Amino acid sequence: MASQNHSSIQTLDPEEAQTTPTLATPLSGFSAKGVVQKVKNNLVFRSKWAELNGAMGDLGTYIPIVLALTLARDLNLGTTLIFTGIYNIITGAIYGVPMPVQPMKSIAAQALFDPSFGVPDIMAAGILTGGVLFLLGVTGLMQLVYKLIPLCVVRGIQLAQGLSFAMTAVKYVRKVQNLPQSKSLGSRPWLGLDGLVLALFCLCFIVVVNGGGEQNHGCCNAVSLENGENVLNGERRSEGNRKTKLRKIIFSLPSAFLVFVLGVVLVFVRNPKALNEIKFGPSSMKVVKISRHAWKKGFIKGTIPQLPLSILISVVAVRKLSSDLFPENKFSVTSLSVTVGLMNLVGCWFGAVPTCHGAGGLAGQYKFGGRSGGCVALLGAAKLILGLVLGTSLSHILNKFPIGILGVMLLFAAIELAMCCRDMNTKEDSFVMLICTAVSLVGSSAALGFLVGMIVYVLLKLRTWTNDRPFSTLWMQ
Q: What string of pLDDT tens digits covers the 477 residues of the chain?
A: 444 444 444 445 544 444 433 344 455 445 788 888 888 888 988 788 888 888 888 887 788 888 888 888 889 999 999 999 999 999 999 999 999 999 998 888 888 878 889 999 999 999 999 999 999 999 999 999 888 888 899 889 889 888 888 888 899 999 998 877 778 888 999 999 999 999 999 999 999 888 775 543 433 343 333 444 443 344 444 455 666 777 777 777 788 889 989 998 998 888 888 778 788 888 888 999 999 999 999 998 889 888 888 898 889 889 988 988 898 887 889 999 999 999 999 999 999 999 999 888 898 899 888 999 999 999 999 999 999 999 888 887 888 889 999 889 888 888 888 887 887 888 999 999 999 999 988 866 777 888 999 999 999 988 877 665 655 555 555
Is residue 383 included in any domain, yes or no? Answer: yes
Note whether 200 and 402 are within 8 A (CB): no
Does residue 85 contact residue 353 with C-beta atoms inside 8 Å? no
Say if 80 falls within a structural domain. yes
The model carries a pTM of 0.77
> Is 6 part of a structural domain of the chain?
no
361 is a domain residue: yes
Q: Could you tell me if residue 154 is inside a domain?
A: yes
- Number of domains within the chain: 1
Closest of 427, 438, 461, 460 to residue 157, by C-alpha:
438
What whole-number distance in Å separates Cα of residue 469 and Cα of residue 154?
Answer: 30
Whether 473 is in a domain gets the answer: no
Query: Residue 107 sits in which domain range?
Result: 21-425
Burial of 131: CB neighbours in 10 Å, binned 0-12, 13-18, 19+ = middle
Rounded to whole angstroms, the Cα distance separating 24 from 163 reads: 34
Domain assignment present for 347:
yes
Does residue 438 belong to any structural domain of this protein?
no
Q: Go through the chain and tell me how many residues it has.
A: 477
Which residues fall within 8 angstroms of residue 261, CB to CB, at 6 or more apart? none
The radius of gyration computed from the CA coordinates of the chain, to the nearest angstrom, equals 23
Quick one: which of 414, 397, 402 has its CA closest to 362?
Answer: 414
Burial class of residue 38 (count of CB atoms within 10 Å of its CB; 0-12, 13-18, 19+): middle
